[in-house]
Structure 1
Amino acid sequence: MEKFWVFIPVFSLLVFVHELGHFLFAKRAGILVREFAIGFGPKLFGWQKGETLYSFRIFPLGGFVRMAGEDAETLEFKTGAPVVCEVGPHGKITHVFFHDPGDRRIDRRVAGKVTDADPEKELYLVLEDESGRETRYELDADAWIHYDPKNRVQIAPADRQFGSKSAGQKAMAILAGPLFNILLTILLFAVYVGMTGVEDRLVVGSVVPNTPAEKAGIVGGDVILAVNGEKVNTTDSLRYKLLDSKGQTVTVTVERDGNNLDLPVTPQKTGEAYTIGVQFYVDQTRRDATFSESVVAGFKLTWEWTGVIIDGFAKLVTGQLSIQSLGGPIQMGDITGKAAEAGMAPLIKWTALLSLNLGIFNLLPIPALDGSRLVFIGLEAVRGKPVSPSKESLVHFVGFALLMMLMLVVTFNDIRKIFFA
């Protein structure tokens, strides 16, 4: 269980980067961001800075950026309700109190009963004084509404709401989250390669007795070049090709004494993976990487692993992979803990893979994910008008419920694999 706690800061970092992408591009588009949250559920603590509440919530497996107008929201100005208003130096109302403001220092105030208000388009508030006379006041574009001492909200003029922006601006605000995860992946892979060096050839150091490699005739000193004619020059690429074989016989091409040999090998299943029983000369498979090589490797590894992840999703859809193969938070926490025990480099590599998975998964057109929101924005661009907010909200709600059910299934798989295997 101790290992799982390593996963919380790692995953929180990935969530922070993801939500930072949404946040920065929303602000760039001029959208009012009401909250930047790490976690879900009840708020543990937070602080207000400017117009945004930065908070940490009790369940750390997620986060969100709440943009004004992204979901249906209404600011209630109940007709006949008494209010006290603070007027700024420019003559516009900056604060509206539906309760006694207490000891708050207000240099200029007006009071009365609300008879009319428009906090989105024309930005005004009409008050009726004790004599029955109505006066119209302008609302500041950044005005705050105080419903009680602990509940306040900033108004969101129409031009600062998510729905008022162009399809391109909305798409970038949504796309930026997954994109930032992918950029983080590139950075982490570059750091990983800078620490471990460049892996560019697979030189066999030794062959484990009574394994598929020994039976096939592979010997120490051989250089593994390809599997079924497809080039492999890293342990990751070899591992994936063997996993893809599902235990079927493959042709392993090796270089020996200047000659290439094609050897039939039948991988054996070892846990969740397939192996052939070889160990490599680390000092001959890796060399120190230059800065430019590290950067290039960051992009290259991200591209290669993107293909692996997409291939995995495709196999899930086509039934080639069972849902039983999926891992959830418990399994990810277990693997993260083991990676941390192995050292900083393995932890950085695993974090890169988690970040890439998070970015790609969020781009899938599944309701409640960023990919689904991008689909609705695309429909808006084609139709020339947005899909009904109520219909879109219903789709996302159903999708979120299904995702929660899937989470329960994979969590059950995790518990079974880790504690009862």
Structure 2
Amino acid sequence: MEFDLPLWLYYVIGFPLLLGPLVTFHELGHYLVGRWFGVHAEAFSVGFGEEIWGFTDKRGTRWKLSALPLGGYVQFKGDMNPASIPDAEATARASAEERTGSFHHAALWKRALIVFAGPATNILLTLGIFASFFAFYGKPVPADVDQQMTVAEFAEISTAREAGIAVGDRIVAVEGERVEDFRDVQDSVMLYPGRTLDITVVRDGAERTFAVPVRSVEMTDRFGNASRIGMIGVASGGSELEFVPQGLGSSLGLAVDHSIGIVDMMVTGIGQIFTGERSVQELGGPVKIAKFSGEQLSLGAMAFINFAALISLNLAFINLLPIPALDGGHLAFYAAEAVRRKPVGPRGQEVAYRAGVALVLMLMVFVTINDLATLPVFGN
């Protein structure tokens, strides 16, 4: 179902409709596990900055909506600030009453689980959405796998044909990894524009491997968003898909596999940016997320929910990076504490957290400027 509204209105509606629930789910993960372990939450905020609206519940937690809708936080008792940076001096001199319900006086394993619960909730939300899709719609499979994996024709420009692959060859592996259907071939190729990949085919009953250069092709979607993908210029012998019904268990398994594949693509893409294979302009920040969320909402509820699952998985991935001030940074400190049998020194923590906050802020500024520079209204 698509909605008939002006595109600018989708942008206005889509971003808060996407980020608000995802941030709330993330922070609820922290809050619920903290409450389970008896840790008191002083504040639960959707957004940062000045409070717009809020109330205090009977447990003394301030629930609030804040002005800057780019995240959120749970501030537990004993936190120096919303990023859960500990105040070492206050923690050391805390009275018995102050220690009760304090996050930083909870057992190490409890603190680790409370921190991990946020990203874990985002992962569970992603798995729930993908599993629901598989359960309701089924698993898409080719009607005839052998026909679909067989090269039927070539594009006008085809590096596969130039490398020696012929019509009638059946593709069975890319870079030594077996492929089950033509989508696997596309996924294995599209991530590597400019590289040369080993494509294994079956011809006359025997396997042969060809070194195929991957063309870099810029594709533009209906909204004008450009992306660079790899293509080798082959078309399969069949494109018909049928949806096979799935039970709850198999749907969850498919959701896990699908999510792992997405994370693998994310890691590959980030690695290519660091090695220079991809431009930093492909990085996206809040402006692009707002743009894409509006566009996906304009395509209908299912497209928007699928996009929400992707962003939820991205949030979990980013938060688990070992950067101080993010959840992964806290977990890294807890791992060090478990190995050392004592916390990292106050000075070391302070320097690391300050550096982590500076890094996150610089990254936010960079991706925002990058977003604006690549938007049609600002870009070339």
TM-score (norm. length: structure 2): 0.77
- CA deviation after TM superposition for structure 1 residue 176, in Å: 0.9
Q: How does 1:165-314 map to 2 (within 5 A)?
A: 165-201=106-142, 203=148, 209-212=155-158, 215=161, 224-233=171-180, 237-253=184-200, 265-271=212-218, 272-277=228-233, 283-284=240-241, 286-314=243-271
Q: 1:333 aligns with which of 265, 279, 290?
A: 290
Q: Distance in 2 between matches of 1:122 and 1:210?
A: 77
Measured after TM superposition, the shift of residue 315 of structure 1 is 4.3
Distance 1:213 1:398 in 2: 47
- d(CA) in 1 for partners of 2:281 and 2:199? 29
Question: In structure 1, how many angstroms separate the alpha carbons of the residues matched to 2:294 and 2:177?
Answer: 33
> Of 99, 102, 107, which aligns to 1:158?
99
Between 1:58-67 and 1:410-419, the stretch displaced more is 410-419
Among candidates 7, 11, 15, match of residue 4 of structure 1: 11
Q: 1: CA distance between counterparts of 2:321 and 2:166? A: 42
TM-score, normalised relative to structure 1: 0.70
Q: How does 1:7-406 map to 2 (within 5 A)?
A: 7-50=15-58, 51-71=60-80, 121=95, 157-201=98-142, 203=148, 209-212=155-158, 215=161, 224-233=171-180, 237-253=184-200, 265-271=212-218, 272-277=228-233, 283-284=240-241, 286-317=243-274, 321-389=278-346, 391-406=348-363
Counterpart CA distance in 1 for 2:127 and 2:310 is: 10
Q: CA deviation at 1:311?
A: 3.5
SS at match of 2:240: helix
Report Cα offsets for 1:218-277 as digits up to 9, x if no partner.
76x976543233223467644442234322343444568988675664433232222345
Residues of 2 paired with 1:8 and 1:277: CA distance? Answer: 40
Question: Is the Cα contact below 8 Å between 1:69 and 1:163 reproduced in 2?
Answer: yes
Moved more, 386-395 or 349-358: 386-395
Correspondence for 2:364: 407
Structure with more strand by fraction? 1
SS in 2 for 1:245: coil
Q: Report runs of 4+ in structure 1 exceeding 6 Å deviation.
A: 255-261
The answer for unaligned runs of 5 or more in structure 2 is: 1-7, 81-85, 219-227
Provide the identity percentage. 30
Larger Rg: 1 or 2?
1
Q: Following TM superposition, by how much is the alpha carbon of 1:379 offset from its aligned partner in structure 2, in angstroms?
A: 2.7
How far apart are residue 302 of structure 1 and its match? 1.8
**Counterpart contact for 1:212–1:266, Cα < 8 Å:** no
How far apart, CA to CA, are the structure 1 residues paired with 2:234 and 2:270? 29
For residue 270 of structure 1, what is the amino acid of its counterpart?
A: V
Contact 1:181 1:355 survives alignment (8 Å): yes
Distance change >3 Å, CA 319–CA 209, structure 1 → 2: closer
Cα distance in 2, alignment partners of residues 252 and 312 from structure 1: 21
Q: Distance in 2 between matches of 1:266 and 1:285?
A: 32
The SS at the match of 1:356 is helix
**More helix by proportion, 1 or 2?**
2
The structural deviation recorded for 1:349 is 2.8
Match of 1:144 in 2: none
Any conservation in 2 of the 1:326–1:410 contact (CA below 8 Å)?
Answer: yes
Task: Write the distance in 1 (CA, Å) between the matches of 2:181 and 2:199.
Answer: 14
